[in-house]
Amino acid sequence: MTRAASHARPLITGWGHSVFGKHPETSLAGLIAPVVRDALDRSGVDPSDIDEVYLGHFNSGLLPLGFPSSLVLEGEPELWGVPATRVENACASGSAAVHQGLRAIRSGDARHVLVVGAEKMTHAPAAQVGAALLGADGDVAGHPSTTGFAGRFAEVAEEYQHRHGPIEDDLARIAAKSHRNAVRNPYAQLRKDLGEEFCGTVSERNPTVAGILRRTDCSPVSDGAAALVLSAEPSGTAATEPVVVSGWGQANDFLPAAKRDPLAFAATELAITRALDRAGVTRAQLDLAEVHDCFTIAELILYELLGLTPRGEGRRAIREGWVTPDGVLPVNVSGGLKSKGHPVGATGVSQHVIAAMQLTGTAGEMQLPRAHTALVQNMGGLGIANYASVLTAGTG
């Protein structure tokens, strides 16, 4: 039976989240299973009522299995027979899966959708991981590289310095903030407050990785999984009040670097604007943002895309404390990709889960005193595949 398209905003009714980090004894299926069970249990939605499943998973040759969609059934056998689809869009694979679920809800084809993001990475040698990730770059995919994606973002950082002046100390401030925030996140991979001096000093423990980027400027290689349930209506037996997905936006940029200004991240900004416009929310009304800080230079530029400062002045946001938990717009209270970890397919789903925790007052030590409206921003490649979501507390 065909259902009528829903004009209500989709809801996040439940979620699950693994600890990100190194899990050498746990398979991809083993990462997925517990977060699936947790998401279903928290949502109060019976597995028999799930209409579709989307799994965000990048892989890019890191695992021999390139066909993981039915691994979700290992977490809940009662999902047998439910349509399940693997979604891939580089480092935005998780949010790509979330947005597919949103479309299913909005179209009326589904009342409840299970979305999972997962990645298994730490078993692979560094060279293999680097090559896999560079498969998301149109200019260097398949070519030898000693610096991987760090080299690509180092070029962005160097161009930023060329146009706007030195930023190494500011990147260290961003890294230190991320580590400080991650201490309060039980799901984070790097839970140690390293301080600005350590993050800003090249040393044996914090070597230069590429250009001006040090190890502390780079997100780690991670294993992990996260899951959430999207619903067309609230569940009477959910563990918390639902969170409304009030806006969403997606935008793609040209793949060849020659067709893009390296500092513009124009399609990233467009995705954010589309999500805010759909939600009827201004940047000034946001209470927090979970953004794609795969490297500290990415977060610095995102301060500008979020409207905190004009272009070229993003350093003001970190220098003046605007993006700390007690600042004007707390950014990456979770520690972000930089310190929470970046299991590629899981990242976008994780960002939505962390934001939902904040909006329901269930974020534990990470909890902000005021959290009503949140922005999630996730991108694949150098600002190529871009997704943004606006989440609000309550049932809409």
In our burial notation (b when 16+ CB lie closer than 10 A, e otherwise), range 97-136 reads: bbbbbbebbbeebbbbbbbbbbbbbbebeeeebbbbbbbb
315 located within any domain: no
- d(CA 357, CA 28) in angstroms, rounded, equals 24
Q: Read off the tokens for 72.
A: 């979700």
* C-alpha to C-alpha distance for 227 and 15, rounded to whole angstroms: 5
Is residue 94 situated within a structural domain?
Answer: yes
**pLDDT (tens digit, 9 = 90+) per residue, 132-178?**
999 999 999 999 998 999 999 999 999 999 999 999 999 999 999 99
Strand pairing category for 208-210 and 224-231: unpaired
On whether the CB atoms of residues 159 and 300 are closer than 8 A, the answer is no
Q: Average pLDDT over the chain, rounded to whole?
A: 96
d(CA 60, CA 77): 27
pLDDT value of position 8: 75
**Tokens, residue 332:** 């990456």
Q: Indicate whether 82 belongs to any domain.
A: yes
Q: Domain containing 85 — which CATH number?
A: 3.40.47.10
In a domain, 209, yes or no: no
- Taking only the tens place, the pLDDT of each residue in 248-283 is 999 999 999 999 999 999 999 999 999 999 999 999
- H-run or E-run covering 35: helix 28-43
What confidence category does residue 235 fall into, taking pLDDT thresholds of 50, 70 and 90? confident
CA 1 to chain CA centroid, Å, is: 35
In the predicted structure, residue 200 carries a pLDDT above the cut 70: yes
| pLDDT at 3 (0 to 100) | 57
Residues designated catalytic: 91, 342
Determine the pLDDT at residue 12: 98
- Helix ranges, 93-213 (H): 93-107, 126-134, 148-164, 168-182, 195-199
84-87 vs 112-119, strand pairing mode: unpaired
Residue 111 is predicted with a pLDDT of 97
Predicted confidence (pLDDT) per residue in 201-211, tens digit: 999 999 999 99
Strands 52-56 vs 84-87: parallel, antiparallel or unpaired? parallel
What b/e sequence results for 13-46 when a residue is b if at least 16 CB atoms lie within 10 Å of its CB, and e otherwise? bbbbbbbbbbbeebbbbbbbbbbbebbbbbbbbe
Nearest Cα neighbor of 68 from 77, 79, 57 is: 57
Structure tokens given for 296: 């500290």
Q: Are 373 and 390 in contact (CB under 8 A)?
A: yes
Amino acid at site 90: A
Average of pLDDT values for 77-90? 98
Burial class (CB in 10 A: 0-12, 13-18, 19+), 260: middle
Phi/psi at 228 (nearest 5 deg)? -150, 160
- Assess if residue 350 is contained within a domain: no
* Cα pseudo-dihedral 70, 104, 360, 55, rounded to 10: 20
DSSP label at 2? Answer: P
Name the β-bridge partners of 373. 392
Asked if pLDDT for residue 7 goes beyond 80, the answer is no
The number of folded domains in the chain is: 1
DSSP-assigned letter for residue 142? T
- Distance between CA atoms of residues 347 and 133, nearest Å: 14
- Asked whether residue 65 carries a pLDDT value surpassing 60, the answer given is yes
Element (H, E) at 351: helix 344-359
At 2 the pLDDT is: 47
Q: Could you report the per-residue pLDDT of 338-386, keeping only the tens digit for each?
A: 999 999 999 999 999 999 999 999 999 999 999 999 999 999 999 999 9
The three-state secondary structure class of 92 is coil
Coil, helix or strand at residue 217: helix
Would you say residue 325 lies in a domain? no
Q: Is residue 178 in some structural domain?
A: no
- CA 239 centroid distance within chain: 23
Measured distance between the N- and C-terminal CA atoms of the chain, rounded to whole angstroms: 27
Q: What is the pTM of this model?
A: 0.97
Dist. CA 74–CA 76, nearest whole Å: 6
Using one digit for the tens of pLDDT, what is the confidence trace for 282-327? 999 999 999 999 999 999 999 999 999 999 999 999 999 999 999 9
From start to end of the chain, where are the E strands?
Answer: 11-17, 52-56, 84-87, 112-119, 208-210, 213-214, 224-231, 243-252, 288-290, 373-380, 385-393
Mean pLDDT of the region 109-128: 97
Percent of the chain scored above 90 by pLDDT?
96
Q: Which domain holds residue 30?
A: 11-124+222-231
Alpha-carbon distance 344 to 380, whole Å?
9
92 within a domain of the structure (yes/no): yes
